[in-house]
Amino acid sequence: MTTALEIADLDCFYGEVQVLHGLSFELRRGEVHCLLGRNGAGKTTLLKAIMGLVPARSGRIMLGARDLTRLPAHEVPKAGVAYVPQGRRLFAEMSVAENIEIGLMARGKGAATRENVLALFPILRERLKQRSGTLSGGEQQMLAMARALCLGPDVLLLDEPTEGLMPSMIAKIRETVEQLGERGVSTLLVEQRVDAVLPVADRVTFVENGRVRATVGVDEVRADPDVVKRYVGVG
């Protein structure tokens, strides 16, 4: 399996506070890789660092041969990394169509990509003219994913996509993530709850206090749920 994204010795700070301490791991091509850890472990910071939204003090984030830490934030999505932020962060006052348009513009994608993405989330097609802030929570999450997929990304970063959604929506999001792996998209999924991860993840990396505790195959977690408690003390 080839590496899609390699993070090596990453240090990140908020002001003087160090949030990530020499964090390293690799995301393989086509896998769903989950970052599991408590609130404040640095998971969201890591995603923001990959997107260039939080500067890396040292270390590398390699997408193929390119070091993303050397790119300005707005060049990272153009390199092929798409981001679904925590809380969705839609352009709430714009229509569904406009949110999708912004996703398409990022890498100059056209009607074909748009059709593909709308085929994944048919409900959005009926809502194109609606103001995105008035969608239901699940629809907003779908739109956030659709907007990101409009980049035609190689790597997709998902920050707690199932937070606060009803079970049927969670199933839909999960199903979509599985399909992405088949298309060769590598997904980095941030979650706090292990039960949200088990059905979709290929591998799990435990993060604690800005450091990687361990990376294990998902079978290992399934076989021995105590492994979660041992590494991050959450269930």
State which of residues 98, 123, 181, 192 lies at the interface with other proteins (CB under 8 A). Answer: 98
Give least dist CB 90 to other proteins, A. Answer: 8
Q: What is the chain's Cα-based Rg?
A: 17
Interface mask (CB under 8 A) for other proteins, residues 38-57, using x and -? Answer: -------------xxx----
Closer of 42 and 85 to other proteins (Cβ) = 85
Closer of 37 and 153 to other proteins (Cβ) = 153
Contact between residue 161 and residue 141 where contact means Cβ atoms under 8 Å apart: yes
Identify the DSSP state of 131. B
Q: Which of 75, 73, 135, 54 is nearest to 99 (CA)?
A: 135
Q: According to the binding rule CB under 8 A, does residue 15 interact with other proteins?
A: no
Phi and psi (nearest 5°) for 209? 50, 40
Q: According to the binding rule CB under 8 A, does residue 83 interact with other proteins?
A: yes
Q: Which SS3 state, helix, strand or coil, does residue 223 take? A: helix
Q: In this structure, are strands 81-84 and 155-159 parallel, antiparallel, or unpaired? A: parallel
State which of residues 40, 64, 70, 105 lies at the interface with other proteins (CB under 8 A). Answer: 105
State which of residues 21, 28, 66, 107 lies at the interface with other proteins (CB under 8 A). Answer: 107
Alpha-carbon distance 215 to 193, whole Å?
Answer: 16
Closer of 160 and 208 to other proteins (Cβ) = 160
> Where in 76-222 does DSSP place strands (E)?
81-84, 155-159, 186-191, 203-208, 211-217
Alpha-carbon distance 41 to 50, whole Å?
Answer: 16
Interface mask (CB under 8 A) for other proteins, residues 52-81, using x and -? Answer: xx------------------xxxxxxx---
Q: According to the binding rule CB under 8 A, does residue 89 interact with other proteins?
A: yes
Q: How many residues belong to the chain? A: 235
Q: According to the binding rule CB under 8 A, does residue 188 interact with other proteins?
A: no
Q: According to the binding rule CB under 8 A, does residue 92 interact with other proteins?
A: yes
Burial 150-183 (b: 16+ CB within 10 A, else e): bbbbbbbbbbbbbbebeeebbebbbebbeebbee
Q: According to the binding rule CB under 8 A, does residue 128 interact with other proteins?
A: no
Q: According to the binding rule CB under 8 A, does residue 175 interact with other proteins?
A: no
Phi and psi (nearest 5°) for 192? -105, -25
Q: According to the binding rule CB under 8 A, does residue 102 interact with other proteins?
A: yes
| Interface positions, 192-231, toward other proteins (CB under 8 A) | none
Residues that bind other proteins (CB under 8 A): 51-53, 72-78, 83, 85, 89, 91-94, 98, 101-103, 105-107, 147, 151
